[in-house]
């Protein structure tokens, strides 16, 4: 069976290159082209390399960046993975969808639109169908977005807990990696030996996206669940891996052990469908006193293809008799970025939308 | 007027040396001796220097470490500032108090004892009197403790807010500096480019100490206030300065602006008494979008003598219509350590307990 | 006596703001205006603050940035301190000098010109006179440059050693701080937990500037000394303070002790003239096994006004019987930047060129 | 063919665990036991895990640490890989060799002994035979040591260059990773945002070991080559990977291109013998302006089994017309530690000494 040709948009950036990494040997998809702005046209991937911890193949490094142009992409590729900056993404993605391309985007531009699924296959796979409400869908084009990097890591355990016990209150403080701001991104003078307590729009995204994803698809839209959600976001001097400190209260009583068991046995759609980039265990619960940690756990996820796709949860513990506290970690540019969209595309293929 | 002779206990450690720094030119106190375990006896302070950001005087660096011995200290010093490790502190401090020495301690050993004030002059100056319940008090000896470093930074704004609006719920996640663990403390392999989500007993301390300090002194003990308090503590790669992300709910309605005004005008006892190490403004509220930050604000506090004694609060903002979020920063080994105890001793002197 | 009005050029940048810091309370100079590109016109200094470790006065923070315009500056200021980027500096500085302003520049643009002194008062104060060869000098205008940040730290000890023993060979490897690249400068993804072994043109500057500065002024130009000089430059995750590992060979025999004595007693012109920003001891030799270190020694220099102006040398030792090895550290944006030019202007004033 | 049973000594430490990592799936060797001091006896490897960037197998993590005891080890294992601390290593390794075990050690204790090969298979494979001079060799026991971590990275390119052009002078400054000091090793307060310019005995080791390894084996010992060697060593805030800045002068003329070609085509014994842990290209020369870098290149080496075994060289350039400058990087606990000894053992097996 021929592989599906895919475009990588924003291939000069951090997320774009994580897409390339995950697609280098993909069983279903094949990179049809690397695209970016005019400025980088003709450059080899090697010259614009931002990802430092993956050894790309020589062939991949030799690939040339092409200028992002709807027609050319639509002709060659059935799918586009978008790591474009938000401002560029909005129009470029719409244009591609209108040209019949299935766009799986990491950009925030379309996330909160009514007919665009904000999708995490482990959380709300049933939302994928919303694409059928997009006008361009009849011609094969549509847009699916993944969630914000810090929302993604949180959404998986919250989904499991909300389903089992109902959520009443969630308070989260993030410890986000510098790669989340892309490249050049965070100036070193702002973060070396420092904590930067402001990431533009991040708290707003977290406080909004989680409700869309945990909501119920209805005939007209999505019914958001009702609970309090308070998010506070900061950048710390970590390269990859967003840590989150979470305190929550459930509607029905749940001990720390109950929560651990619930997270441990969480086995949602992508795992059942055996999607290529789905980690065998989407949530890994660690019992050590000092885990997760970015240096230890950022690449969690098996098999090899799903490295960085598991969310690691640790230190699940009670605080008083009302609150449960836990720490979580997820790879912000894989699970919370390119990997999320690749998994979305795999779900689309499994659901025969590709 | 002759200065009061004071002993510095644990002078080879980080907190001990912050005591030395703050006492080098103190208007009321004079260093009578530097004490540590037998192992360091006879060494010059220069040889065991841990504090890197303060230029000690040559005279100070030449001082020799003596072995901690109750009688010798009691003979020479009216006051002892203790930066001893918890396990050593317990007996050593009791022994000194019994020998008639007023001990101002940074150690956790005696903090939760009924007749020992857990004191922050800006928060609960009236608790100081509790020392009179100590048996050794009749002979002039007593123990006063400062709070845990991360509790201290939190206690100041909470006190102001609790007094004005009543607290119902506080959720805090800390971003703590490595100096909080002393020296050698945190191995670099555990923290460089990492977040370490476990600090032994730290959350328990925060969840307990805050209630003792915000409590009302009664004839028999202290009446703890009632609100929910959830703390989660982590270490980040920052040298000095504990950042804290706080979400809270008050009993009476309070907008972000109300909270800001309340914090801004907070002028408690030590400021009214004009204690030498009290910062003119104990809480500095910043209105920039990205403050406080350790690199910018860790030394906050005026005049020069009170550098590192102010708590900086920033990003005070509403979340939904129930919660207020804010960030705070305080210098963990000055405000939250040696400086706290020096201020305690100054209060004791002002209250004629010295 | 009225203070001399001075302009700070490039006041939105790191070096420009170090100028402001050093000029806030200067006994001879007074800030007449802060200048930068059109883009920042009208902004308060507070809004564009890059320096994080100095508490500027409220008055200073309130000052507004004006657009750099030759006439307006020449009208108001006798002196301009330039922290402009190299490309802008070239013409702007020439234009100001032609308008009668004495320009003391940190930019590289004019450094290697024949009639421009590349000046370190401790190293080649007699070069200052070269300004008289500049055409604009007759109208009171001229340009004086300080050396590159990593060259400066090296030049002081080399001057002392060359004078005493003659240099045959110098091999230096640098460990340079991120602030050397200005702001935003080095992307955090390039330096956190990393070493970046390339700083554009830095090695070329070091290998060229040292010879101009150690050269003899002649009727026509400068006679460069003859020795081999090999420089290798890298960036490390340090905020401020360039460390340099130096190996050298002298013409005349010199033991490590000889070198130490020579450096220790180095007391050149600015110290004899008692210039306000000159450190009492321009070179501080440390005998500990593990000094200098940026965290300990970056602010070396007394009195308070000369903080960061001393070069710290340590670990002076022999290697075999031909080579001497040593480490040195200097504050790259003070000694090797703004402080260098302020000292140059002080020398000019002392020599009645202002 | 049955695999050779091997012991890992010092399995609670960083180097010990790198041995375990490299031996987990080794084609010739099989871990017979993990050994450490009495204190760790009975603990699972999981409980004492120091290596954070490798996902060990569950089986491996379950293995128990046993107490180091010569007889028990000799009974079970033909080979011992030693990651013991220097002070323990001396006697323990001698005792094992006397008991007939072939010891491949990373410890410094025996390195400079006359009858002990200081071995890097790419550099001096012919030195391996020296083991036959050890008294215990007749019973099958002997000791082979790898070189110091910073010497190893340097030795490979120096060998290639010395063979081709003759070395006259080498000046090296190191930028060493914190993992080189083991765990807990470097306190974070000493290295975060800092450079530490002293590593005990490191410069002495570099200045001595390189001559033994580049020397010619003679009937009686080893003839050291004659050239000047100056080493200066520092620690920087990097997790893994020692960078080195090298300046050198050759006897015969060699342009930068000559050197590059020489390094590029370097194909010594282990590559010809196709040893399992030998990287296809032992020296990788990079032509980019800013490589090597720890974050990019620390794991260099193919195939997968040889990750971290290649030395990356970059920025080969002339300085004046006498000196060549270059940067190099090698993984200090793999190439410069456990991996070096594993390769030594593979060479021993290929040479029928096992």
Q: Which of B193, B295, B296 sits opposite C193 (nearest CB)?
A: B193
And the tokens for C248?
A: 């050298």
Chain A nearest CA to B320, separation (Å): 8
Q: How far apart are CA A271 and CA A121, in angstroms?
A: 9
Residues 267-306 of D with CB under 8 A from A: 293, 295-296, 299
pLDDT band per the 50, 70, 90 thresholds, residue B250: very high
For B4-57, write each residue's pLDDT tens digit: 999 999 999 999 999 999 999 999 999 999 999 999 999 999 999 999 999 999
Query: Quick check: B143 and B105 in contact, CB under 8 A?
Result: yes
User: Containing H/E element for A40?
Assistant: none
Q: Is the pLDDT of residue C57 over 90?
A: yes
Q: What backbone phi and psi angles, to 5 degrees, belong to D264?
A: -65, -40
Predicted local distance difference test score (pLDDT) of residue B86: 93
Predicted local distance difference test score (pLDDT) of residue B153: 98
pLDDT band per the 50, 70, 90 thresholds, residue C260: very high
Q: How far apart are CA D169 and CA D171, in angstroms?
A: 7
Collapsing DSSP to helix, strand or coil, A223 comes out as strand
Rounded to a whole number, what is the distance in angstroms from the first to the last CA of chain C? 14
Q: How many CA atoms lie within 13 A of D171 on its CB side?
A: 25
Could you write out the DSSP letters of every residue in A4-20?
EEEEEETTTSHHHHHHH
Task: Work out how many CB contacts closer than 8 A connect C with D.
Answer: 120
Q: Which of B228, B239, B319 sits opposite A230 (nearest CB)?
A: B319
Residue of D46, D52, D295, D331 best to disrupt the A interface, most CBs of A under 10 A? D52
Mean pLDDT, chain D, as a whole number? 97
Closest-CA residue of A relative to D291 is A52
Residue listed under structure tokens 């950048």 = A235
Query: Quick check: C205 and C149 in contact, CB under 8 A?
Result: no
Chain A nearest CA to D25, separation (Å): 16
Q: How far apart are CA C334 and CA C337, in angstroms?
A: 5
Q: Is the pLDDT of residue D98 over 90?
A: yes
Q: How many CA atoms lie within 13 A of D146 on its CB side?
A: 34
- CA distances to A4, A56, D203 from A23, in Å: 11, 11, 46
List CB contacts (< 8 A) between C50 and chain A: 189
Q: Is the pLDDT of residue D333 over 90?
A: yes
Q: How far apart are CA D314 and CA D284, in angstroms?
A: 8
Residues B108-113: what's their mean pLDDT? 96
A53 in contact with B, Cβ within 8 Å: no
Residue of C154, C188, C191, C197 best to disrupt the D interface, most CBs of D under 10 A? C197
pLDDT band per the 50, 70, 90 thresholds, residue A2: very high
Task: Tell me whether residue B171 is one of the annotated catalytic residues.
Answer: no
- CA distances to A248, A263, A303, C207 from A156, in Å: 14, 9, 19, 57
Residues A123-143: what's their mean pLDDT? 97
- Render the burial of D319-349: b for 16+ CB within 10 Å, e for the rest: beebbbbbbbbbbbbbbbbbbbbbbbbbbbb
Task: Report the DSSP pairing between strands D142-145 and D102-105.
Answer: parallel
Residues C164-187: what's their mean pLDDT? 98
Residues D56-70: what's their mean pLDDT? 97
Q: How far apart are CA D262 and CA D283, in angstroms?
A: 10
Residues C185-207: what's their mean pLDDT? 98
Could you write out the DSSP letters of every residue in A48-71?
G----SS---HHHHHPBEEE--HH
> Percent of chain B at pLDDT above 70?
100
Collapsing DSSP to helix, strand or coil, A225 comes out as coil
Q: How far apart are CA B98 and CA B96, in angstroms?
A: 5
For A272-313, write each residue's pLDDT tens digit: 999 999 999 999 999 999 999 999 999 999 999 999 999 999
Q: What backbone phi and psi angles, to 5 degrees, belong to C285?
A: -95, 125
Predicted local distance difference test score (pLDDT) of residue C1: 76
CB atoms within 10 A of CB B14: 23
List CB contacts (< 8 A) between A332 and chain B: none
Residues C299-304: what's their mean pLDDT? 96
Beta strand extents in chain C (DSSP E only): 4-9, 29-36, 65-67, 79-82, 102-105, 142-145, 167-175, 216-217, 222-223, 228-232, 242-250, 283-286, 311-319, 323-330
For B252-280, write each residue's pLDDT tens digit: 999 999 999 999 999 999 999 999 999 99
Closest-CA residue of C relative to D196 is C293
Mean pLDDT, chain A, as a whole number? 97
pLDDT band per the 50, 70, 90 thresholds, residue C313: very high
User: Containing H/E element for D336?
Assistant: none
DSSP state of C3: P
Predicted local distance difference test score (pLDDT) of residue C96: 98
User: Containing H/E element for D251?
Assistant: none
Q: Is the pLDDT of residue B1 over 80?
A: no
Q: B177 burial class (0-12, 13-18, 19+ CB within 10 angstroms)? A: buried
Residues A249-277: what's their mean pLDDT? 96
Chain C nearest CA to D245, separation (Å): 7
Residue listed under structure tokens 């080791």 = D205
pLDDT band per the 50, 70, 90 thresholds, residue D69: very high
DSSP state of A345: H
Q: Which of D198, D203, D236 sits opposite C175 (nearest CB)?
A: D236
For B161-201, write each residue's pLDDT tens digit: 999 999 999 999 999 999 999 999 999 999 999 999 999 99
Task: Tell me whether residue C233 is one of the annotated catalytic residues.
Answer: no
Predicted local distance difference test score (pLDDT) of residue A1: 76
Residues C200-209: what's their mean pLDDT? 97
Residues C319-337: what's their mean pLDDT? 96
If we measure between CA atoms, which residue out of B239, B118, B257, B255 comes closest to residue B178? B239
B53 in contact with C, Cβ within 8 Å: yes
Mean pLDDT, chain B, as a whole number? 97
> Percent of chain D at pLDDT above 90?
98
Residues A217-242: what's their mean pLDDT? 96
Predicted local distance difference test score (pLDDT) of residue C220: 86
Q: Is the pLDDT of residue B136 over 80?
A: yes
Q: Which of B127, B149, B233, B331 is catalytic?
A: B149
Predicted local distance difference test score (pLDDT) of residue A321: 86
Q: Which of D77, D110, D127, D149 is catalytic?
A: D149
Predicted local distance difference test score (pLDDT) of residue C323: 97
Q: How far apart are CA C122 and CA D224, in angstroms?
A: 44
Predicted local distance difference test score (pLDDT) of residue B252: 97
Q: How far apart are CA B146 and CA B209, in angstroms?
A: 10
ipTM value for the complex: 0.97
Q: Is the pLDDT of residue B234 over 80?
A: yes
For D207-226, write each residue's pLDDT tens digit: 999 999 999 999 988 999 99
Domains and CATH numbers, chain B: 4-148+338-350 (3.40.50.720), 150-331 (3.30.360.10)
């Amino acid at each position: 069976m021929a592989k599906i040709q895919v475009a990588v948009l924003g291939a000069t950036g951090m997320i774009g290159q994580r897409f390339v990494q995950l697609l280098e040997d993909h069983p279903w998809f094949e990179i049809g082209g690397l695209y970016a702005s005019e400025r980088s046209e003709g450059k080899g991937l090697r010259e614009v390399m931002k990802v430092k911890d993956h050894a790309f193949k020589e062939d991949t490094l030799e690939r040339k960046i092409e200028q992002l142009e709807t027609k050319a992409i639509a002709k060659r590729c059935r799918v586009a993975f978008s790591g474009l900056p938000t401002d560029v993404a909005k129009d470029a993605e719409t244009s591609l969808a209108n040209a019949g391309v299935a766009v799986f985007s990491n950009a925030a531009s379309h996330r909160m639109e009514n007919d665009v699924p904000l999708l995490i296959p482990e959380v709300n796979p049933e939302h994928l169908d919303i694409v059928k409400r997009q006008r361009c869908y009849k011609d094969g084009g549509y847009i699916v977005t993944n969630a914000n990097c810090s929302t993604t890591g949180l959404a998986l355990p919250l989904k499991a807990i909300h389903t089992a016990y109902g959520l009443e209150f969630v308070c989260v403080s993030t410890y986000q990696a510098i790669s989340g701001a892309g490249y050049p991104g965070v100036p070193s003078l702002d973060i070396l030996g420092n904590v930067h307590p402001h990431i533009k729009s991040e708290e707003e995204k977290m406080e909004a996206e989680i409700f869309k994803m945990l909501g119920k698809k209805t005939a007209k839209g999505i019914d958001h669940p009702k609970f309090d959600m308070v998010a506070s976001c900061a950048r710390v001097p970590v390269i990859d891996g967003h840590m989150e400190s979470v305190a929550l209260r459930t509607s029905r009583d749940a001990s720390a052990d109950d929560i651990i068991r619930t997270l441990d046995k969480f086995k949602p759609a992508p795992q059942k469908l055996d999607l290529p980039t789905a980690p065998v265990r989407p949530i890994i619960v660690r019992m050590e006193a000092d885990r997760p940690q970015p240096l230890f756990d950022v690449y969690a996820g098996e098999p090899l293809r799903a490295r960085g796709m598991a969310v690691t949860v640790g230190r699940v513990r009670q605080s008083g008799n009302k609150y449960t506290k836990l720490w979580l970690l997820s790879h912000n540019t894989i699970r919370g970025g390119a990997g999320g969209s690749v998994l979305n595309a795999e779900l689309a293929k499994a659901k025969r939308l590709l």
